[in-house]
Amino acid sequence: MYKLLIADDDYEIRNGLCKYFPWDVVGFHVVGSVENGKEALEFIKRHDVDVILCDIKMPIMSGIDLASELSSLNSKVNIIFFSAYKDFLFAQKALETGVRRYILKSTNYQELIQAFTHIKEELDQQQHSAAKQGQDMSGKIISTIKAYVATHYRDATLEDLAKLVHMNPDYLSKFFKKNAGVLFSEYLTQVRMEHAANYLNDIQYKTYEISDMVGYSNSFNFTRAFKNYFGMTPRDFRNQKYADNEQLENSLE
């Protein structure tokens, strides 16, 4: 349900729209009603609103002035003018302030339902596009983080990555978990352990050297992390590799 605010200085019209029009049928829920543009502006500052159905001529602040103010604030609230005045000048001003539609109060019941059905479809498309853009952006950020870790796994930190992608470290931690499906610390450990396993295949590297190469200043901590990840110590891992290679060579002779 999209949140709808109704702004009209005529009590009967305002009350009738709030109580007797089947908004839920077209996907809207009336979250409030106000008498003028100033009250509407204050309401929007305190509550979430998707659409305003707004009269043009109201005391204190008109619908045109409200639309101009919201435009200057870069508000995402959609404004629909609902007026008794079929005047080109009003329609022109409405378009200039970014108003989505101009509906006459003489519009009948079915026409109003049809108009808001179209509005809902447009909002659905906007929401879908925004969600897709958000997913695309999230994917790019995760790719950036993983690319950085792939080459800087030895000394990569959440703080460094937060600066790289312009996020707060705490927020980035939650963002990474949500979009990558794993904690950043777990992902970093995974990358380090896979590199450590590759280094262990090369006998020129000592365990303590590999420990430092993958970001562990303490070889004991490295051994413990490696065992937690692979279920065996670096030494046992290397010995098993040797045994597997020797067995493979013997089978080929």
On whether the CB atoms of residues 63 and 7 are closer than 8 A, the answer is: yes
Q: What percent of the chain has pLDDT over 70?
A: 89
Of 115, 78, 128, 85, nearest to 99 (Cα)? 78
What's the pLDDT band for 88 if we cut at 50, 70, 90? low
pLDDT digits (tens, 9 = 90+) for 208-217: 999 999 999 9
Question: CA 195: distance to chain centroid?
Answer: 33
What's the pLDDT band for 85 if we cut at 50, 70, 90? low
Of 93, 33, 25, nearest to 65 (Cα)? 93
- pTM here is 0.72
What's the pLDDT band for 242 if we cut at 50, 70, 90? low
pLDDT digits (tens, 9 = 90+) for 94-149: 665 667 677 888 778 888 898 899 999 999 998 999 899 999 999 999 999 999 99
